Chains A and B, each alone.
Chain A
Amino acid sequence: MNELLARSLEASTVFLLAALGELVNQRSGILNVGLEGLMLFGGTAAFLVAQSTGSYPAGLAAGIAVGGLLGWIHGLFSIRLRGDQVVSGMGLWILSFGLTTYLGSPHTGPLGLPRFPALVGLSPFVYCGTLLVAAVWFVLSRTSLGLAIRSVGESPAAAAASGVNVAGIRYLCVVFGGTLAGLAGAAYTLSYNPVWNYNFLMGWGFVSLALVFFSMWNPWVLLGGSVLFGAMWQLSLSPEYVLPGVLSRYVWRTVPFGVTIAILTVISTPWFRTRWGLAKPQALGVPYTD
């Protein structure tokens, strides 16, 4: 049971890292639906580099760097070229899917390194993710940079008129989102499940994306949601723990999506909006032209 808990916390962390980065870039107004692609690419890069150098730090660095680079490319399309963010994100996902398959298939199989070191029985990523949540919350709500990020995502014209560099802030956030997606991919392929398969993520990125909407763009809710989603995902792998034989694992896996759809429906009702205000950044997905 303890093992299951540790595993589900580790799964939660993969969701959490990716979703936290996406949360930050969405708060600045940039939607990256290609999260799955960034995670695939970051994970594959981390796996290949760690395998060839035998070094976990090198693998992690590669995952983070590739994620950041892809985030920057998404920024280039959606900020500089003012393209459609959904199209750019989907393009990145398809590109990453294809390229990682091409680069990774010769290395299909286990990583072949000693197990990723644990810290007090848990993967170090779990601690790292929790600290990052606190850091992101602090920056967004207590610092001037955070105010600039939130303003750019709500009303870029107002931010620009206040002297905020809208494009600069958005680049910063989209690259940050990319590095965390790369880190999430690396956490998956180096620690959670250190085996390379064709399309090894199978939707983890999309669950993370759903998690951001679920969290209503609040890092602490995101943390709670990721634990919930991680546990549900882990349970779907071991359905014998919950109501054995009732539903197949594939049905269990749809539960996070079902929950997210329910949440999205509730937060978009006039009833919710008049009581809690608008949770969604108003300029999300809208290119800024001055």
Chain B
Amino acid sequence: MTPELEHRTPPPVLAARGISKSFPGVRALDRVDLEVAEGEVHAVLGQNGAGKTTLMNILFGLIHPDEGEVYLRGRRVRFRSPHDALASGIGMVHQTRRLVPAHTVLENLVLGHPRARGLLDLRRARQELEALCARYGVHVDLGARVWQLSEGEKQWVEILKALYAGVRILILDEPTSALTPPEVQALLRALRALVDQDGVTVVLVTHKLPVVRAVARTVTVLRAGRVAARLSVSDTTDHELVQHMVGQEVTLPTVQAPDHRGPVVLEVEDLSAYNDKGVLSLRGVSLTVHEGEIVGVAGVTGNGQEELAQVLAGLRPAVSGRVRLLGRDVTHLPTLDRWRLGLGYVPAERTEVASVAALSLVENTGLNYHFDPEFCPRGMLDRARLERLTRQILATFRVKAPHPYVRAQHLSGGNLQKLVLGRVLSRQPRLLVAHLPTQGLDVEAASFVRAQLLEAKARGAAVLLISEDLDEIFAVSDRVGALYEGRFVALVPRNEADPETVGAWMAGSLGRRA
């Protein structure tokens, strides 16, 4: 920085210079600079795997850079752990929740609080937190245990926790990915209040352009571990931002799937099931999915979508009702037999259920083929054949991976999802159940996944898409419906509804149709 510049602009409140970080086989960050001015929302934009989270973890002291320096108010700082960062007034809300599920909200908020020394004064903490909640218009039951909360509430608990600890710089990593549209609006409102009224500085990591537009003043765009651009949001266009994110003109695959509905593939009748807490959360759902048709099911997390997907996949017992697959009653059939009949299931939990992190991509592909005599003759894995198939999936589904024997944990979310989808679709399923298939994916990966769903439809598969993204549901579905408290509010052909109506259904109201 030249001396002349230095006295013209105040030093940024938080800055990173020349940060580099490598993980085995990947250069996650390559000489990255970041500057955040006091009292602004600075967005860090980039696709999955661009290095956004790594950079934030470095700012927060969770990981240490190989090279480069971090400056706080012009002073060089070296955070050995999040403890140091918190002590300097930097807080972070992670993409994955960092809360103790067994504890109450209040206990979680107090944990690690600078004033929490010696005796716990929970009564005083409760009063202060109630005031804080009122200030930002948040409603969270402080006495509830965290495992009982929805994703949106948990995220609020984390934000409150940072604010309660007196944080002046708040790092938010993909805060909108687990939220419903109204929750996103509430969050963005609260962020604006934080910045305007309280002068808190916010670093917002996202891959969503509307979020950047709504709250950020400046934006740093990361691409493949490097800074692609640093811009003022008001001086740039969405098109320009996408260009910086992606690097070249993107041509998103578009598939025009012809509409010819075949015979019924999936028939669900009055299906009910318990959730993990023993509450009846799927209550009498009926639907049919035909050959060559996509049925889109919307709903806010926790309204029975997960239970529906799991019952269909044979991973959760049905309390009552029937499931027929290709005319056969499969209600009590084990998962494996359903796969043999032509089920394909893409679970929402990409890293926990859909793949095994410590296994290679070839072995992960094998997860859908271990029962196939062609791939496992006499119980022996035909590794050459599996590897051929894996390579084919990597190529057709544009999975970026160094080689097929790399462990699944080294793939970014988008690449892992493409692999899972590719693996499931390679079986040519008659029924595809896809639960949140694009959650947390960047624009390019998400539209690729959607195109694949349309292609499966064109090939004659019956597709049940369970999603929280209304644009996605309207982009691909032939019929749309919404689950609310375990029941369909409605299920109608796409042209008889619009996103606004379905949004109202998700909230339990019949909307304009009523």
Across-interface contacts of B94 in A (CB, < 8 A): 161
- Asked if A221 is at the interface of the complex by the 8 Å CB criterion, the answer is no
Taken together as a complex, chains A and B put the C-alpha atoms of A159 and B102 apart, in Å, by 13
In the bound complex, do residue B98 and residue A157 qualify as a contact, i.e. CB atoms below 8 Å apart?
A: yes
CB distance from B37 to the nearest CB of A (A): 26
- Can you identify 6 A-B contacts, CB atoms within 8 angstroms? A144-B116, A147-B110, A148-B111, A151-B111, A165-B81, A165-B83
Q: Which residues of A contact B100 (CB under 8 A)?
A: 150-151, 154-155, 158-159
Given A143-B119, A274-B278, output 7 extra A-B contacts at Cβ < 8 Å: A142-B120, A143-B120, A144-B110, A158-B97, A158-B111, A159-B100, A270-B278
* Interface residue total, chain A, C-beta cutoff 8 A: 26
Chain B: minimal CB distance from A150 (Å): 7
Which listed residue, A143, A157, A161, A163, touches B118 by the CB 8 Å rule?
A: A143
A163 touches B62 (CB 8 A): no
Residues of A within 8 A of B98 (CB): 155, 157-158, 161-162
Residues of the B chain whose Cβ atoms lie less than 8 Å from the Cβ of A274:
277-278
**Which residues from 122 to 137 on chain A have a C-beta closer than 8 Å to any C-beta of chain B?**
none
Beta-carbon contact of B102 and A282 below 8 Å: yes
Interface centre among A146, A155, A274, A277 (most CB of B within 10 A): A155
Name the interface residues of A149-194: CB closer than 8 Å to any CB of B. 150-151, 154-155, 157-165
Is there a chain B Cβ closer than 8 Å to A278's Cβ?
yes
For chain B, the count of residues having a C-beta within 8 Å of the partner chain is: 30
| B324 interface hit (Cβ, 8 Å) | no
Say if the beta carbon of B200 comes within 8 Å of chain A: no
For A150, list chain B residues within 8 Å (CB): 100, 103
> Which of B102, B112, B118, B278 is A162 in contact with, Cβ under 8 Å?
B112
Asked whether any CB of chain B lies closer than 8 Å to the CB of A3, the reply is no
Within 8 A of A (CB), among B94-126: 94, 97-103, 107-108, 110-113, 116-120
Could you tell me the distance in whole angstroms from the C-beta of A154 to the nearest C-beta in chain B? 5
Give B148 Cβ to nearest chain A Cβ, in Å: 10
Contacts A143-B118, A165-B83; A154 near B103 (Cβ below 8 A)? yes
Q: Which residues of B contact A144 (CB under 8 A)?
A: 110, 113, 116-120
Q: Given that A277-B102, A278-B102, A282-B102 are contacting pairs, would A159 and B111 also be in contact in the complex, using a CB cutoff of 8 Å?
A: yes
* Residue of B with least CB distance to A278: B102
Does B338 lie at the interface of the complex (its beta carbon under 8 Å from any beta carbon of A)? no
The 0/1 profile, CB within 8 Å of A marked 1, for residues 354-395 of chain B is 000000000000000000000000000000000000000000
- Shortest beta-carbon distance, B394 to chain A, in Å? 29
Q: Which 7 A-B pairs have the closest CB atoms?
A: A162-B112, A163-B83, A161-B98, A144-B116, A274-B278, A163-B112, A158-B98
Chain B window 275-307, contacts with chain A (Cβ cutoff 8 Å), 1 for yes, 0 for no = 001100000000000000000000000000000
Given the known A-B contacts A144-B110, A150-B103, A155-B101, are A160 and B119 also in contact in the complex, defined by CB atoms under 8 Å?
Answer: no
Query: A144-B118, A147-B110, A147-B111 are known contacts. Are A158 and B99 too (CB-CB below 8 A)?
Result: yes
Kindly list chain B residues whose C-beta atoms are within 8 Å of the C-beta of A164. Answer: 83, 111-112
Contact B86 A163 (CB under 8 A): yes
Q: Please determine whether A154 and B92 come into contact, CB atoms closer than 8 angstroms.
A: no
A-B contact count (CB 8 A): 80
B122 nearest in chain A by CB position: A142
Known: A147-B110, A148-B111. A161 touches B92 (CB 8 A): yes
Contact A282 B101 (CB under 8 A): yes
Contact of B120 (CB < 8 Å), options: A147, A278, A290: A147
Q: Once the chains are docked, how many angstroms separate the CA of A64 from the CA of B189?
A: 58
**B322 close to A (CB within 8 Å):** no
Residues of A within 8 A of B62 (CB): 161, 290
Alpha-carbon separation in the docked complex, A161 to B85 (Å): 10
Chain A 236-259, CB-CB to B under 8 Å as 1, else 0, gives 000000000000000000000000
Nearest CB on A from B474, distance (A): 37
Complex CA distance for A270 and B317, rounded to whole angstroms: 14
**Residues in A90-147 with C-beta less than 8 Å from chain B:** 142-147
A150 and B100 CA atoms in complex are apart in Å by: 9
The smallest beta-carbon distance between A159 and chain B, in angstroms, is 7
With a cutoff of 8 Å between Cβ atoms, the chain B residues found around residue A155 in the complex are: 98-102
CB proximity to B under 8 Å, residues A269-286: 270, 274, 277-278, 282
Measured CA separation A163–B113 after assembly (Å): 8
Residues of A183-207 at the interface with B, using a CB-CB cut-off of 8 Å, are none
| C-alpha spacing A158/B154, complex, angstroms | 13
B145 on interface, CB distance cutoff 8 Å: yes
Q: Are A159 and B112 neighbours in the complex by a CB distance under 8 Å?
A: yes
Most chain A CB neighbours (cut-off 10 Å) among B83, B102, B110? B102
Q: Is the CB of B116 within 8 A of A147?
A: yes
Q: How far is the CB of B106 from chain A (nearest CB, A)?
A: 10
B49 at the interface (CB under 8 A from A): no
* Distance A164 CA – B145 CA, assembled complex (angstroms): 20
Rounded to whole Å, the gap between the CB of B99 and the closest CB of chain A is 5
B321 contacts A by Cβ under 8 Å: no
Task: Give the nearest-CB partner of B93 in chain A.
Answer: A161
B107 and A147 form a contact (CB under 8 A) = yes
**B87 surroundings in chain A (CB, below 8 A):** 163
CB <8 Å contact, A151 and B278? no
Question: In the assembled complex, how far is the CB of residue A274 from the closest CB belonging to chain B, in whole angstroms?
Answer: 4
Q: Contacts of B97 on A, CB cut-off 8 Å? A: 158
Chain A CB within 8 A of B244 CB: no
Interface centre among A148, A154, A158, A160 (most CB of B within 10 A): A158
B385 CB, nearest partner CB in chain A, Å: 35
